[in-house]
Amino acid sequence: MRSFLITVAAALLLAAGAGAQNYKAPRTPDGLPDLQGIWQVRDTAAAFDVQDHEGALGIPPGLSIVSEPADGKIPYKPEALAKRQANFKNRAAEDPLNKCFMPGVPRINYMNFPLQIFETPKYTLITYEYIHNYRTILTNSTKHLDGLDWWNGDSRGRWDGDSLVVDVSDFNDQTWFDASGDHHSDKLHVVERYTRTGPDTLRYEAAIEDPEVFTRPWKISIPLYRHTEPNFRLLEYECQAFRDAAGEGSR
């Protein structure tokens, strides 16, 4: 009986805590939770460094978006941490974006550029203003491709209540999580969760695992905001790599 009461109390507490997250997304004509629209982060520092960081030349200060582990730090293996520090030092030359490469997932979702979500019963499409990237997220219960690596990975989605859950695999080892050299191998596996939290807010979460680089899986969480400006739309953004006078790769 006592344990039953505790369970009930815990359930009530959980329900209360989850209250703010119980926003019920409107439905599309196909009956799917409606995530459609043009979204963008307001936390523009995450794309520079997903962890707590001070401001530096070209890097705005920001708080960690790493929600797990609780210390907000990426659980690197020692040798992988050393590589991260080397990447940070050489970031001007080594950041894949400075070579106009595709950003990879999840980085592309918290870059300071708008993205647009379209839903159909068989797939969800995300188009990105940043260098005409797009992701076709198949939601037709098909499996990942095998034996081919992609910059943005291969995305397969499913609807879980009000959330779109996307399993992303088949990555190459060339992309970073941010402009500070946070990196991964081609064993990277990302599970994303997109959940409406209000009329104009969308929570983006990603669970990240890569046994070659991290000691344990970790998670990020960051809100996206709807663009409500009249006539807002994605524009063209092309990337042009060049060398500045100091010989630094730049954009």
By CB under 8 A, residue 173 contacts other proteins: no
Which of residues 146 and 236 has its CB atom nearest to other proteins in the complex?
A: 146
Query: Of 62-70, 74-82, 142-150, 226-234, which segment contacts other proteins by CB under 8 A?
Result: 142-150
Would you call the peptide bond into 106 cis, given omega within 30 degrees of 0 as the criterion?
Answer: yes
Q: Closest distance between other proteins and the C-beta of residue 149, in Å?
A: 6
Q: Closest distance between other proteins and the C-beta of residue 147, in Å?
A: 3
Which of residues 33 and 153 has its CB atom nearest to other proteins in the complex?
A: 153
Which of residues 128 and 171 has its CB atom nearest to other proteins in the complex?
A: 171
Q: Closest distance between other proteins and the C-beta of residue 237, in Å?
A: 20
By CB under 8 A, residue 5 contacts other proteins: no
By CB under 8 A, residue 236 contacts other proteins: no
By CB under 8 A, residue 94 contacts other proteins: no
Binding mask 144-163 for other proteins (x = CB under 8 A): -xxxxx--------------
Which of residues 151 and 159 has its CB atom nearest to other proteins in the complex?
A: 151
By CB under 8 A, residue 238 contacts other proteins: no
The tally of CA atoms less than 13 A away on the side-chain side of residue 190 is: 28
Using CB under 8 A as the binding criterion, the count of chain residues that bind other proteins stands at 6
What CA–CA distance (Å, rounded) separates 127 from 168?
Answer: 16
Please choose, from the candidates 66, 41, 70, 71, the residue with its C-alpha nearest in 3D space to the C-alpha of residue 51: 66
Q: Closest distance between other proteins and the C-beta of residue 144, in Å?
A: 13
What is the separation of C-alpha 95 from the centre of its chain, rounded to a whole number of angstroms?
A: 17
Which of residues 148 and 245 has its CB atom nearest to other proteins in the complex?
A: 148
Element (H, E) at 220: strand 218-226
Q: Closest distance between other proteins and the C-beta of residue 176, in Å?
A: 18
Query: Of 10-18, 143-151, 211-219, 227-235, which segment contacts other proteins by CB under 8 A?
Result: 143-151
Angle formed at CA 53 by CA 192 and CA 126, multiple of 5 degrees: 25
Please choose, from the candidates 109, 105, 115, the residue with its C-alpha nearest in 3D space to the C-alpha of residue 37: 115
* CB-based contact 66:73 (threshold 8 Å): yes
Amino acid, res. 108 = I
Q: Closest distance between other proteins and the C-beta of residue 210, in Å?
A: 17
Reduced 3-state DSSP string for 154-219 = EEEEEEECCEEEEEEECECCCCECCCCCCECCCCCEEEEEEEEEECCEEEEEEEEECCCCECCCEE
Query: Of 18-26, 76-84, 140-148, 220-228, which segment contacts other proteins by CB under 8 A?
Result: 140-148
Please choose, from the candidates 169, 220, 210, 211, the residue with its C-alpha nearest in 3D space to the C-alpha of residue 49: 220
* CB-based contact 24:162 (threshold 8 Å): yes
Contact residues toward other proteins (CB under 8 A) are: 145-149, 172
